[in-house]
């Protein structure tokens, strides 16, 4: 399988970290693609009408896109413990964490449009403030929820990759939240995180 990837995408890294945690690393090759809504990438659009990475290409089968769907698919391919718990409150808790993590990355991207990506005269500061509020409220919520003793699941993978990207892009920091910060520092020592460093600049 081939993963259409981006070395500075939190979502692409989430899919790759998931694959590594599931023991599927040797079944996937990674191909870097630059994407931006202001600069269409034809190869990416040919596989995903939204023009976004990550996309998982499978020989002789349809492409799978969106990190949420890729991770759900990858979880069917291995024989270890499910990274997306199959039932009970553990499932809803993991998926809720994933939803918050997706929202962190989404909000960070929107904030970056207002802070650095748009031409200066088109930026709207109240929108940047609104996205910063979503980040800070989510950090506070996570501070009360995070539990370092839980078995690793999709929620943790999504959260660690989103937080690392937010820090990489110097967006509003989560470091004042001590439990969240300590959990993150431990998680980033995992081989899956160490093997997938963030790098590169957005090309708009």
Q: Which of 52, 112, 134, 156 binds ligand GSH (CB under 6 A)?
A: 52
Q: β-strands 55-57, 2-5: how paired? A: antiparallel
Q: Which of 17, 51, 97, 177 binds ligand GSH (CB under 6 A)?
A: 51
Stretch of 62-70, 117-125, 183-191, 193-201 lying at the interface with ligand GSH (CB under 6 A): 62-70
Q: Which of 53, 101, 104, 171 binds ligand GSH (CB under 6 A)?
A: 53
For ligand GSH, the closer CB: 129 or 204: 204
Stretch of 4-12, 19-27, 127-135, 182-190 lying at the interface with ligand GSH (CB under 6 A): 4-12
Sequence-distant (6+) residues with CB within 8 A of 49 are: none
Residue linked to tokens 């996309």: 55
Contact 203, 39 (CB under 8 A): yes
Tell which residue, 142, 158, 152, has the closest CA to residue 101.
158
Stretch of 32-40, 75-83, 132-140, 191-199 lying at the interface with ligand GSH (CB under 6 A): 32-40
Which run of H or E residues covers position 57?
Answer: strand 55-57
155 near ligand GSH (CB under 6 A): no
Residue linked to tokens 């962190």: 104
108 near ligand GSH (CB under 6 A): no
Q: What are phi and psi of 85, to 5 degrees?
A: -50, 140
Q: Name the site residues for ligand GSH (rule: CB under 6 A).
A: 6, 9, 11, 35-37, 51-54, 66-68, 102
């Amino acid at each position: 399988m081939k993963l259409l990837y981006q070395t500075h995408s939190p979502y692409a890294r989430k899919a790759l970290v998931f694959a590594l945690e599931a023991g599927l690393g040797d079944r996937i090759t990674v191909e870097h693609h630059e994407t931006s809504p202001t600069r269409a990438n034809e190869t990416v659009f040919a596989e995903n009408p939204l023009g976004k990475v990550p996309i998982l290409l499978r020989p002789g089968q349809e492409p799978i896109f969106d990190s949420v769907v890729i991770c759900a698919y990858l979880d069917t391919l291995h024989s270890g413990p499910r990274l997306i718990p199959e039932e009970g409150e553990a499932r809803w808790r993991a998926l809720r964490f994933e939803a918050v993590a997706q929202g962190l990355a989404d909000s960070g991207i929107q904030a970056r449009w207002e802070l650095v990506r748009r031409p200066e005269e088109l930026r709207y500061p109240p929108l940047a403030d609104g996205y910063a509020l979503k980040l800070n409220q989510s950090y506070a919520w996570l501070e009360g929820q995070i539990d370092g003793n839980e078995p690793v699941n999709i929620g943790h993978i999504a959260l660690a990759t989103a937080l690392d990207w937010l820090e990489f892009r110097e967006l509003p920091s989560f470091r004042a939240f001590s439990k969240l910060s300590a959990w993150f520092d431990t998680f980033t020592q995992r081989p899956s995180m160490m093997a997938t460093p963030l790098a590169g600049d957005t090309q708009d």
